[in-house]
A and B are shown apart, each in its own frame.
Chain A
């Protein structure tokens, strides 16, 4: 289906009771917008709103100051109802310079609030943003509420007592702005103050200056005479299940899921990886967690990473490797060896925009084809995808379970959006998780490397160091009977069938596909996988609110697919598959189940907006209405 032009919604800030708000902090890559966003997120979670975030940063580490391509932004959607995306249109835009304004202003709703640092709107910066005239002085911002403040001057005044140089003093601008936005939404500054003290523990002057800036921004909101329609907005707390909560990004949840998986499997992990955006943070997180059953290895390249992981699996640990698109391509030969040698191996693919280097910091779901088919030979491999930041935890555990139980490589798909996005997470009780301990073979009597579990077809895991189990494995086809090299034609057929049967059989060991919102049959099913979950969820919810007959189905297991998925989809008159690619799952569904599924495709480096999916649902439902 064609992607409809996004319709911006009516202004929020006029309503007596604001139920949800989207705020975007935007500035130079060096302006500290990500830190600002992270602190605001924490305060918002503690306030009791549900939330979802979208850190959106450029590939350049320090782009030239004031450049449009160097704008780094952090978006947060928070409210009193369930929040599953970072929001469509902006209610509040914080623009630290003209470049941040020009790249984001089109997403601000009419009547939305824009906060700008007047001091940064210099002739030089205006020229870099390609403004012919100062937008603060013409009618550009007439449709919006505007807080036009010389933040730079305010900050310099606020931090004067701490004796910082001019440049260092100006670096506190982000905290001043954060203080103002915290006033706007009645957030508590205390946790941010604690964070600043911790962060600058060895630079008390810097810590104090930042805290002073934060407080000054807040005080400005309280005391300054503000334009009409700018005041404290109260957003009711979300109704959530009782429990202990924390904020978590997809990367953190994934790392902790792997660590938990290791405990449940009673096995050591070797995480071998090569730095690549946006996957590196997983390596960083795990490198700090060696007190658990994980060790990390920064390999010399992507190929070495997958190979070292495989070597660890041969030696009896679970080898895990992680990368993003181009890096995964390099690992393909190694993954096929793991399949041939029947060794467990977990490959995490944090997808980004492709092809080639593509859009390293932007999100996409365009590696599904590679995950399903990107190997030489007939090399089936299970594939599993995380739908949200918090879902990464469970999916990681499940990937460890499947890899070790079936002695197979498995690919876990995440993407740049959920890897970096944070959302509140009800911390699970780890004691309630079902262990799945790994059994390394010990019995020398009757041992051969081709011993298999009759039910799962999993090959025996006989690790070096075990007397009497000395054996050889490798990439040459091996005899089904003995495990020795075999060029026998019938044997190759048998081994090929075995590899397929092993992966197919996993379908008996995964949950049947459920409908996550709506009925099990009807007019329209919207089928998602991966990080499109949030936008689909909200769009289907709104469509159902409008009385449309639509259900949401979210597929976690992409290979093998759940056994009932085909039958389930056939209970609907139409199937719509939104994907951040040119139509990869939809093609699989059409091929597997011979159904007339429609794709809704977007590859803009940005997640779907709720409105885009809603518009497609409305259109499809209207078509179906017209038919009947």
Chain B
């Protein structure tokens, strides 16, 4: 078991399948980043399992030269839980999208989070249904015009990180499709986390929702519309880090202040759940969008505890005969 692992590269994690996303899709960048990250995780390739549901993002496993299961709409977290229960040695990854993960599969998402199954959930959020040709999704902004909402959607969107926090998630992070370094760092930490690591990846759909994250992604605008969270560091942003996020202690709400002003600049504490909720909810135009590890806590892992129960139950060898003869039996003899 302790044999050194063969030195692998990005190419070893690319399958022979032709990638079939639309040109310019943010999924390409994410795929590249994950393929590049894989050798760095230094885990056996045969232990990597990617499970997905349905949607554009869910084609991801076909392009990874690992074990993969492209399943049914919304159910990847449930299938992944079964994979991990059957073999806790495996690294289990769930690839999902905003519709797959929070519409049809919302229930499984909640329970994968609260159970703290030891796995990574990468949610590609493009705020639209791509594969079914552009209907609005549960994360689409209110007013989104789409084939199914020609006059604009009237329902309120949900915040994936906010819901993940509410569900009791123990590792909640946000990153961006084209920010390879950031994404790679966040996912690496998620992989190391014992429990369910949830990473929302803001992903551009060039066909049906192009530019929805432009302010957050565009090099010129991003400094004013995005803040990178780092544990123990002040929450500051702007081209010259001249702006900061501060907590108003009277209203328990966040506000944007000058970083050198009189107000207290908030220092990010990724173990503080109350602050995490406030930071996860920040959105433009009044607030920058927070990226990075928003929240993490150490909680018992479902898989580890389930496994411990199995091990405890199996301390003594059990025989089938014993089982079948347990309780009251009686013997009938020849008369």
Spell out A's residues near B (CB within 8 Å): 42, 45-46, 48, 191, 240-247, 256, 259-260, 263, 268, 270, 272, 289-292, 295, 297, 299-301, 303-305, 307-317, 319, 333-334, 337, 341, 427-428, 430, 463-476, 484-485
Measured in the bound complex, the distance between the Cα atoms of B90 and A317 in whole Å is 13
Q: Which of A297, A427, A473 contacts B68 (CB 8 A)?
A: A473
Asked, given contacts A256-B323, A304-B107, A311-B82, whether A471 binds B68 with beta carbons under 8 Å apart, the answer is: yes
**Residue B185 is within 8 A (CB to CB) of chain A in the complex:** no
How far, in whole Å, are A474 and B324 apart by their CA atoms in the complex? 39
Stretch at the interface among B43-51, B210-218, B243-251, B257-265: B43-51
Shortest A288–chain B CB gap in Å is: 9
| Selected A-B contacts with CB under 8 Å, 10 pairs | A46-B330, A243-B332, A244-B325, A244-B332, A291-B314, A300-B107, A307-B78, A311-B51, A312-B85, A312-B86
Interface string of B75-101 (1 = CB under 8 A from A): 101111111111101100000000000
**Please, which residues of chain B bring their CB within 8 A of the CB of A256?**
323-324
B82 and A297 contacting across the interface, CB-CB below 8 Å:
yes
Extra A-B contacts (18), CB below 8 Å, given A311-B85, A464-B46: A46-B330, A242-B334, A246-B330, A247-B328, A289-B323, A291-B316, A292-B323, A297-B82, A308-B81, A310-B79, A311-B69, A312-B86, A314-B83, A315-B84, A430-B320, A465-B87, A472-B17, A484-B17
Stretch from B59-67, B197-205, B234-242, B271-279 at the A interface: B59-67
Q: Does B23 contact A (CB under 8 A)?
A: no
A381 vs B75: C-alpha distance when bound (angstroms)? 22
Which residue of chain B lies nearest to A427 when distances are taken between CB atoms in the complex? B324
Q: Mark B305-335, 1 if CB is under 8 A from A, else 0.
A: 0100110011010101101110111111110
Asked if A315 meets B314 with Cβ closer than 8 Å, knowing A263-B320, A303-B75, A465-B89, the reply is: no
Write the nearest CB–CB distance from A270 to chain B, whole angstroms: 6
User: Is B145 positioned at the interface, with any CB of A under 8 Å from its CB?
Assistant: no
Main secondary structure on A side of the interface with B: mixed
Please determine whether B86 and A474 come into contact, CB atoms closer than 8 angstroms. Answer: no
Indicate if the CB atoms of B318 and A291 lie closer than 8 Å. yes
Contact A290 B313 (CB under 8 A): yes
| Contact (A48, B332) CB under 8 Å given A300-B107, A304-B78, A468-B46 | yes
Q: Is the CB of B69 within 8 A of A304?
A: no
User: What's the dominant secondary structure at chain B's contact region?
Assistant: mixed
Please report which residues of chain B, range 98-123, place their CB below 8 angstroms from some CB of chain A when the two chains form the complex. 107-108, 110-111
A292 to chain B: which residues have CB within 8 Å?
318, 320, 323
| Cβ A473 vs Cβ B46 within 8 A | no
Most B Cβ at <10 Å: residue of A467, A468, A472 = A472
B15 sits at the interface (CB 8 A): yes
Q: How far is the CB of A420 from chain B (nearest CB, A)?
A: 17
CA distance A42 to B62 in the complex (A): 57
Which residues of the other chain, A, contact B111 by a CB distance below 8 angstroms? 299-300, 304
A242 to B314, CA, bound (A): 34
Query: If A45-B330, A46-B330 touch, does A316 touch B87 (CB 8 Å cutoff)?
Result: yes
Q: Is the CB of A315 within 8 A of B72?
A: no
B329 close to A319 (CB less than 8 A) = no
Cβ contact of B90, chosen from A244, A304, A333, A464, cutoff 8 A: A464
A502 CB to closest chain B CB, in angstroms? 20
Question: Which of B's residues lie within 8 Å of A, judged by CB?
Answer: 15, 17, 44-49, 51, 54, 61-62, 64-72, 75, 77-87, 89-90, 107-108, 110-111, 306, 309-310, 313-314, 316, 318, 320-321, 323-325, 327-334
Most buried by A among B87, B325, B327, B333: B87
Q: How far is the CB of B5 from chain A (nearest CB, A)?
A: 10
Chain A neighbourhood of B61, CB < 8 A: 472, 474
Q: Chain B contacts of A428 at CB under 8 A? A: 324
> Which are the 3 A-B pairs with shortest beta-carbon distances?
A311-B82, A474-B70, A308-B82
Known interface pairs A311-B86, A315-B86; A341-B323 also in contact (CB < 8 Å)? no
Contact call B69/A341, Cβ cutoff below 8 A = yes
What are the residues of chain A within 8 A of B70 when measuring CB–CB? Answer: 472-476
| Chain A residues, CB < 8 A from B51 | 311
Flag if A464 contacts B330 (CB, 8 Å): no
Complex alpha-carbon distance, A263 and B84, angstroms: 22
- Once A290-B310, A427-B324 are accepted as A-B contacts, the answer to whether A470 and B330 lie under 8 Å apart by CB is no
CB distance from B132 to the nearest CB of A (A): 15
A45 CB contacts on chain B under 8 angstroms = 328, 330
Whole-angstrom CA separation of A538 from B154 in the bound complex: 65
In the assembly, what is the distance between CA of A485 and CA of B316, in Å? Answer: 46
Take A311-B78, A467-B44, A472-B61 as given contacts and tell me if A246 and B325 are in contact as well, using a CB distance cutoff of 8 Å.
yes
Chain B neighbourhood of A319, CB < 8 A: 82, 86
| Assembly CA distance A466 to B66 (angstroms) | 11
Are A297 and B85 in contact, CB atoms less than 8 angstroms apart?
yes
Q: Assess the A259–B320 pair: CB atoms within 8 A.
A: yes
Q: How many Å from the CB of A133 to the closest CB on chain B? A: 45
In the complex formed, the residue of A with least CB distance to B67 is A464
Contact A314 B79 (CB under 8 A): yes
Chain B residues within an 8 Å CB radius of A463: 87
Chain B residues, Cβ within 8 Å of A467 = 44-46
Task: A314 to B22: give the CA distance in the assembly, Å.
Answer: 30
Bound-state CA distance A396–B305 (Å) is 29
B68 touching A310, Cβ below 8 Å:
no
CB-CB < 8 A to A241: which residues of B? 332
Contact B330 A312 (CB under 8 A): no
A484: B residues at CB distance < 8 A: 17
Contacts of B89 in A (CB 8 A): 465
Instruction: Knowing A295-B306, A312-B85 are in contact, say whether A304-B71 is a contact too (CB < 8 A).
Output: no
Distance from B106 Cβ to chain A, minimum over Cβ atoms (Å): 11
A469 close to B82 (CB less than 8 A): no
Does the CB pair B82–A260 fall under 8 Å?
Answer: no
Q: How far is the CA of A260 from the CA of B83 in the complex (A)?
A: 23
> How far in angstroms is the closest Cβ of chain B from A377?
12
The listed residue (B49, B62, B75, B325) touching A427 by CB distance below 8 A is B325
Q: How far is the CB of B240 from chain A (nearest CB, A)?
A: 47
Q: Is the CB of B78 within 8 A of A470?
A: no
**Cβ contacts under 8 Å, A246 to chain B:** 324-325, 327-330
Minimum Cβ distance to chain A for residue B21 (Å): 14
Query: Which residues of the partner chain A approach B87 to less than 8 Å between Cβ atoms?
Result: 315-317, 463-465
Within the assembled complex, what's the spacing in Å between the Cα atoms of A314 and B76? 13
A542, B44: Cα distance in complex, Å: 67
CA–CA, A244 to B329, complex, Å?
7
Docked Cα-Cα span, A300 to B71, in Å, equals 18
Question: Could you tell me the distance in whole angstroms from the C-beta of A432 to the nearest C-beta in chain B?
Answer: 12
Known: A472-B62, A476-B70. A334 touches B75 (CB 8 A): yes
User: Which residue of chain A has its CB nearest to the CB of B58?
Assistant: A474
In the assembly, what is the distance between CA of A308 and CA of B108, in Å? 11
Q: Whole-angstrom distance between the alpha carbons of A301 and B169 in the complex? A: 19
Q: Contact at B69–A301, with CB atoms within 8 Å?
A: no
Of all chain A residues, the one with the shortest Cβ separation from B15 is A472
Residues of A within 8 A of B320 (CB): 259-260, 263, 292, 430
Q: Are B85 and A270 in contact (CB under 8 A)?
A: yes
Residue of B nearest to A240 (CB): B332
Look across to chain A and name the residue whose beta carbon is closest to the beta carbon of B16. A484
**Cα–Cα, bound, A241→B127 (Å):** 69
Tell me, in angstroms, the Cα distance from A470 to B15 when the chains sit together. Answer: 9
